[in-house]
């Protein structure tokens, strides 16, 4: 990836931008044999128009479940959205009919899934699947759709795109399939793109190209927003305006990207950033990780979700869950070290 400053920085800081998506108190649980898994348990997240927001956190923190809940794609059973609101352009998606939801998926909000293998249909050609997306939304006549499909495949770095149109998913490598998924997601210029680990399966050059392409979507009208779920903090630093850090089914800290990297407040965020490999002066710093492991999802602590691993815990942490409080403009943290106004 290049060292150029991210283009996104010219955009207004998120907290003041008009919200495109506002998730309030979202709770999504799974009924399992071991009991109720509170995968997402009170997520608050706001995405302004034209904003690129990163969502980070260790495996199992609830990032994908949050994203799938927005589009109401949680497998039910075993999952169910038990509370909260997902306001998109002011409408609560959780109250829409399936038909209204279908009109929004792909057209208004599209998603690049973490597992691309399962999201292409094995019995249709790549071309049919791309064209179908446009026709399902009445977006183009067949000839135009075909042209646009080839153009999109080329833009996501698929060589000889015209001949790929007649191939089936199994004839493509994993990386190529991922690019097809990205082409499908970008095809209709959605207002919101949710990208769940979109580039993990791809090599570094293609990763940079795909991230650029996603930012182009936003830059084209200055309105489209992106929710980028990733484990790669370097990608967040380069592409995002704001970042939210999840742990134990909740957002623990959210801030403009510079503020979060410069002055992380939550001990969990501090741990995540300390685990980044860094070169300080002439000596590479050793890679550290946060001691301990993510608690069992069926037995999360009643107080702060991070209490079992936190070196700065004190009396209230085990018993009382802290609120998300604003510690600086647009910078929120959920930690008893920052009591907030009382």
The tally of CA atoms less than 13 A away on the side-chain side of residue 184 is 28
| Residues in contact with Mg ion, shown as a per-residue x/- string from 93 to 132 under the rule CB under 5 A | ---------------------x------------------
Among 19, 62, 127, 248, binds ligand ATP (CB under 6 A): 62
Q: Which stretch binds ligand ATP (CB under 6 A): 56-64, 85-93, 140-148, 176-184?
A: 56-64
Among 11, 61, 64, 119, binds Mg ion (CB under 5 A): 64
Cβ 273 to ligand ATP shortest distance, Å:
17
- Those residues whose C-beta lies under 8 Å from the C-beta of residue 304, and which sit 6 or more positions away, are 310, 313, 317, 318, 321, 322, 334, 335, 336
52 binds ligand ATP (CB under 6 A): no
Structure tokens at 230: 């990733």
The tally of CA atoms less than 13 A away on the side-chain side of residue 31 is 6
Residue carrying the six token digits 């009445």 = 138
Among 9, 10, 25, 32, binds ligand ATP (CB under 6 A): 32
137 torsion bin: left (phi>0), alpha (psi -120 to 50), beta (else): alpha
| Residues in contact with ligand ATP, shown as a per-residue x/- string from 254 to 293 under the rule CB under 6 A | ----------------------------------------
Cβ 292 to ligand ATP shortest distance, Å:
16
- Those residues whose C-beta lies under 8 Å from the C-beta of residue 281, and which sit 6 or more positions away, are none
Query: Helix, strand, coil shares of the chain as percentages rounded to 5?
Result: 35, 25, 40
Using CB under 6 A as the binding rule, the residues of this chain from 289 to 318 that contact ligand ATP are 297
| Radius of gyration over every alpha carbon of the chain, rounded to an integer in angstroms | 20
Closest CA to 54 of 196, 224, 252, 149: 196
222 binds ligand ATP (CB under 6 A): no
The Cα–Cα gap between 261 and 177 comes to: 33
Q: Which is nearer to ligand ATP, 213 or 300 (CB)?
A: 300
Q: Which is nearer to Mg ion, 67 or 104 (CB)?
A: 67
Alpha carbon 187 to its chain centroid, in Å, reads: 19
Length of the chain equals 342
| Residues in contact with Mg ion, shown as a per-residue x/- string from 11 to 30 under the rule CB under 5 A | --------------------
Q: Which stretch binds ligand ATP (CB under 6 A): 54-62, 138-146, 281-289, 322-330?
A: 54-62
Using CB under 6 A as the binding rule, the residues of this chain from 232 to 251 that contact ligand ATP are none
Other Cβ atoms less than 10 A from the Cβ of 125: the count is 16
Q: Which does 256 bind (CB under 5 to 8 A by kind): ligand ATP, Mg ion, none?
A: none
39 binds ligand ATP (CB under 6 A): yes
Cβ 62 to Mg ion shortest distance, Å:
8
What residues are paired with 125 via a beta bridge? none
Q: Which does 173 bind (CB under 5 to 8 A by kind): Mg ion, ligand ATP, none?
A: none
Where along the sequence are the contacts to ligand ATP (CB under 6 A)?
30, 32, 37, 39, 57, 59-65, 75, 78-79, 114, 297
């Amino acid at each position: 990836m290049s060292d150029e400053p991210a283009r996104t920085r010219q955009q207004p800081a998120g907290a003041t931008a008009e919200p495109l998506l506002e998730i309030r108190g979202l709770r999504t649980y799974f009924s399992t044999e071991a009991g109720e898994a509170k995968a997402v348990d009170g997520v608050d997240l706001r995405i302004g128009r034209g904003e690129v927001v990163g969502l980070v956190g260790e495996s199992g923190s609830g990032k994908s479940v949050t994203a799938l809940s927005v589009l109401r794609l949680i497998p039910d059973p075993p999952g169910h959205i038990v509370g909260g609101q997902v306001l998109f352009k002011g409408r609560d998606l959780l109250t829409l009919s399936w038909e209204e939801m279908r009109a929004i998926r792909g057209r208004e909000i599209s998603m690049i899934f973490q597992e691309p293998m399962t999201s292409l249909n094995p019995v249709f050609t790549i071309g049919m699947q791309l064209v179908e997306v446009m026709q399902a939304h009445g977006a183009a006549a067949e000839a135009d759709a075909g042209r646009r499909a080839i153009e999109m495949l080329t833009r996501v770095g698929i060589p000889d795109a015209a001949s790929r149109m007649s191939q089936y998913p199994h004839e493509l490598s994993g990386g190529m399939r991922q690019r097809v998924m990205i082409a499908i997601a970008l095809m209709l210029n959605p207002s919101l793109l949710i990208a769940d680990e979109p580039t993990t399966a791809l090599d570094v050059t293609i990763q940079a190209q795909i991230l650029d392409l996603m930012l182009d979507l936003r830059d084209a009208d200055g309105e489209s927003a992106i929710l980028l779920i990733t484990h790669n903090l370097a990608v967040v630093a380069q592409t995002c305006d704001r970042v939210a850090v999840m742990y134990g089914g909740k957002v623990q800290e959210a801030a403009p990207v510079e503020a979060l990297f410069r002055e992380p407040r939550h001990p969990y965020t501090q741990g995540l950033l300390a685990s980044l490999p860094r070169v300080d002066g002439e000596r590479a710093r050793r890679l550290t990780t946060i001691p301990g492991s993510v608690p069992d999802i069926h037995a999360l602590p009643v107080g702060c979700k991070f209490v079992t691993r936190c070196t700065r815990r004190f009396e209230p942490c085990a018993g009382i869950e802290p609120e998300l409080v604003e510690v600086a403009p647009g910078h929120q943290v959920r930690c008893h070290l920052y009591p907030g106004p009382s």
